[in-house]
Amino acid sequence: MQFAPLFPVIYRLLQPTFPKCLWNGDRKSKAIALTFDDGPHPQYTPEVLAVLDRYQIPASFFWLGACVNRSPQIAKAVCDRGHWIGLHGYDHRSFPMLSPTALRESLAKTQAAIYSACNLPPEQVRDVRPPNGFFTPQTLNLFFEWNYRPVMWSVVPEDWVRPGVNTVVQRVLQQVQNGSLIVLHDGYDGGQDVAATIQILIPKLLQQGYQFVTVDTMWQQIPKGN
């Protein structure tokens, strides 16, 4: 069973309940963010980079520390192009299932892997997206205590179950609006199709007048109190 139709409903319910998370950007702006979870991957991430290079599109990548350690050269190639880097945990374990100590260690180990591969200091890598979008109020309180910024989503086409490139594209196009924060995957689940997906999706979104920005830019653009 695919849950793609439920994600817009979940978003509408959770976004006002947890307003300190980044769920979307400025709804008055045509700026949108294209984000990728679960990488870097030795094959799929370079394919994504090739498409982003073609259209000169900035994106944001939420990485697993274990994958960074396995593919440090790929991680560096992403950073060298100026894309924004965030954290997705060390090995995709659900954050609410971890003790505070284990959660902090997972994030710190991922920051360390990124520093080793890309020379990005930990204080520059503090955006966190929980695996599977699962979090609790306690999880968020820990993020704030440790000076991390929680990043969520507003468009989730469920590409990780591989419903087909055209289906993923149509789901995004049906949901996208000003300030949308789009989630795709360049890891082992869903990464097989991601380059083909964005090759179709990016020009269509550009034709609709959207501008691509990083998650960091989106944080800066959202009105206070949004």
> How many independent structural domains does the chain possess?
1
**Does residue 14 lie in a domain region?**
no
Other C-beta atoms lying within 10 Å of the C-beta of residue 59: 26
**Does residue 117 lie in a domain region?**
yes
| Residue-range definition of the domain harbouring residue 158 | 23-219
**Does residue 80 lie in a domain region?**
yes
**Does residue 155 lie in a domain region?**
yes
Bridge partners (DSSP) of residue 68 are none
**Does residue 54 lie in a domain region?**
yes
Positive or negative CA dihedral for 148, 154, 155, 158? positive
Q: What is the 3-state secondary structure (H, E, C) of 26-85?
A: CCCCCEEEEEEEEECCCCHHHHHHHHHHHHCCCCEEEECHHHHHHCHHHHHHHHHCCCEE
> Six-digit token pair at 187?
């890891």
Task: Choose the weakest-confidence range: 2-6, 69-73, 101-105, 143-147.
Answer: 2-6
d(CA 61, CA 211): 17
Q: What is the pTM of this model?
A: 0.94
Identify the CATH number of the domain in which residue 159 sits.
3.20.20.370
**Does residue 3 lie in a domain region?**
no
Bridge partners (DSSP) of residue 36 are 61, 184
**Does residue 44 lie in a domain region?**
yes
pLDDT at 176 > cutoff 50: yes
Residue 43: CB partners within 8 Å, gap ≥ 6?
191
d(CA 165, CA 162): 8
d(CA 183, CA 108): 23
**Does residue 169 lie in a domain region?**
yes
- Cβ(11)–Cβ(181) below 8 Å: no
pLDDT at 195 > cutoff 90: yes
pLDDT at 12 > cutoff 90: no
pLDDT at 141 > cutoff 90: yes
Task: Choose the weakest-confidence range: 16-30, 33-47, 84-98.
Answer: 16-30
Residues noted as catalytic: 37, 185
